[in-house]
Structure 1
Amino acid sequence: MHIKSKIESFEDWLFIEELPDGYNAQTPLAEKRMTIKRPPVHQFSNYTISSGGLFLMHAKMQFDEPAKILFEIEGETVTSQFIFYENAPASDDAGKGKRSRAGARHNIRYIPSLSGKYELSPVVEYNYFLVVLSKEYYFHLINQDSVLHADFVEEIKNGKYTSISAKDLLVSHEMKQLINDILECKKTGELKRLHTEAKVLELLMLQMEQMQNDQHQEIRTFTDLEQEKIEQARDILDQDYANPPVLPVLSRMVGLNEFKLKRGFKAYYGITIYGYVTRLKMEKARHLIIDQKKTIREVTYEVGFKHQSHLSEAFKKYFGILPSEIRH
C-alpha cells in the first residue's frame, strides 16, 4: 500500500508512506507531525499515524490563494474520510458580524488505486481527517460477510471504486468526539495502537449506523440545498445552545419549513433538535464543573438555565447523578 500527497506548487511531498497490504499487529505505530509556513500557505499542520495496514492523517489548512492538493494511492484500500470546512474570518468591515458558514461531511470509500487533486478555496479553513486501511485490515475489523456492508463488499470484490453512501453525509456529534479521542490520545506504543484501532472501528460503526438505519431512505429525499440548511441549523445551535432560537425562528433563519427541519435533523443526526440542545447544555455543564471548577450557580446561568434546581433536574436525568455529586 503506497500513499503520498503534496501541495501542487511545492517540490517536497507532505508525506510518502509505504505500508504492508496485510493486517500486521506486530508493526509498531509511528507518528509524524509537520507544519508549513510559506506562501501560498496561510496555515498548515499535518499529523499522521501509521501501523501495519493502517494510515491515519489529520490536516488543518488554509491558503492565501487558490491551491491544489495532489494525492496518490496504490493498492486496494478502504478509506474513512471526514472533511470539516469553515469560512475564514472576514478581514474587511463589510464582512464583520456575519455568521461563519461551516460544514462537515463523511463517507467510506473503496479505492483500488487512484491519483487526483483537491481544489481548495482561500476563503475556507479546512480540517481534514482521513483513515486509510488496507483491504485485509478493513476485513479484520469488519467481517467480510457482515450484513452491515453487503453491497459495499460486492463492489470491492469487483475491484470497482465505490462509496458506501451515494452522497456524503453529515458528521454527527459522536463522530466528532471519536475523532478528538483519537487525536488527543496520550497513550504511547502498543497501548496507543490498540486505542487507535478500537476507535477507528467505533468510528466505522457510527458511519455505517447512519448509512444503514431506517431513516437512510428518508435522507435521500433531501436535496443538497436542504441538507446544507439542516447543517446550518446545527451550526446555529452549536453557537447559541444556551439561548437557542425556538423552532419557528430557527426555521426562518435557515429558510427551511419547520416540518422538513425537524424531520431532516432527526434523520441526519439521529436526535431531535430539543435532544441535541439538551446534550450540548449537559456536556458543557459537566465540562465547566469538572475542568473549570465553576460553581453550580455559575454553570446554571452559563448554560442557559434560570434556576439551579432546573439544571440539577436536567443533569440528573441526563447523567444519572446530580451536578453536586460529580466532583466526588
Structure 2
Amino acid sequence: MLSEISVSINESVKNTDNGAVRPMSSPYLKYAKEYLITPEIGYYSMDVPSGEELKTGFQTANSSLGIIFCLGGSSVFTISKNGLTYEYTLRQGECSIAYMPYAAGISAIDSRKRYRAVNMFIVPLRVRNHSFGHPMAESFLQEITRTAKDSIFLTKGNITKDILKILQELISTKASGFSYRNLDISRLYELVMLTVESLNTKKQFRQKNILQPEDINLILNAGRLITENLSNPPTLVSLAKSAGLNLFKLKNGFKEVFGTTVNGFITDKRMEKAKVMLESGDYSVSNIAWDLGYTNVSHFIELFRRQYGMTPGKLLSEQRSRSVSKLISSARQSII
C-alpha cells in the first residue's frame, strides 16, 4: 500500500490554552507513537511496519531546526528550495541535523524493512538558554540563528551510545496526554547538546547559499570587476554595491561559483597575470609586483612561490634563458 501524505510542520501542531503545543488530527500521526511537543522543543517517535511505502511531503517553518534519529530501516529525504534540489539518505544508526527555512521536501521510507525513528524540532534561539556547559552546542545554535533565510544546512553522523540511551528512555514510556514532563524536557535538551557535540557541528558547519541564476550572473560580473582592477581591487563593501549583491551572497557566492574567497580570487588572478608578464620577459620582478598593487615585493614573491612552486625570479631567469637559446638557434639557422 502506498500512502501519500502532505504535512506542513506549521499546520501539524496548534497551541493549547496553557500555551503548550499539541498535534492536530492528521493521517501523518498514524505512525507517531510517543511524543511531546512544546513551543521551543519537542519530539515524536515513528514506527512504520515493513511493506508500508510511506511517502511524506513536508513544508518547513522559518526558525525550527530538525534532528532525526534513525533506529531502524532507512529513508530518503529530498529537499527543494529556489529551484534547486538536495537529497540524502538516513540509515539505521545515523542521525541528521537540518536547518532549512521555508523549504519543501519529501521523505520516502524504504518499505522493505520496519522503519523506526525519533524526530525532533527545536527553536535554536530559545534552546540556547539551556546550553550552559556545552560551549560547542551553544556556538552552533548561535550560528544557526544567524543563517540567511535563503540558505540551508544539512549534516549527518552516527548515533552514539549516550544518545541511544536517551532515545530508548524517551520512547520506552508513553507520554501521558500532552502535558509537560520535566524528565522528558530535560532529557530533550541534553539530547540536543550531545547530538551537536557528537557531530562536531562547530567544525562541519557550512552555510549553503541557494543562488538564483541572476545571482550567479552578478557574482560573475563581480569577478570581472576584480580582474579589470587587479592593481587596486575594490573593497568588499564597494564590490558588493557595484555588483548589486549583499555581503553574505557575495562572500558565499564566490566560494560556490569560483571555489575560493574574494581575497583568494584576487590573489589567484594577480598570480596568473604575474606569470604571463614574467613569461613575456619584458618586466622585472619588482615592476610586476608594483604593477599588481604589491608594495612589499617579498610578500609578492612568497605568494607566487606558493602558487607555482618557484620564485618569480627563477621563472624569469628560465624564461630569459629560453629566449636567448631561441635567438642563438635562429641566428645559426640563418647563417647555415
TM-score range normalised by the length of the shorter chain? 0.3 to 0.5
Which structure: greater helix fraction? 2
Please, what TM-score do these two structures have when normalized by structure 2?
Answer: 0.43
Q: Report the TM-score when normalising by structure 1.
A: 0.44
Greater gyration radius: 2
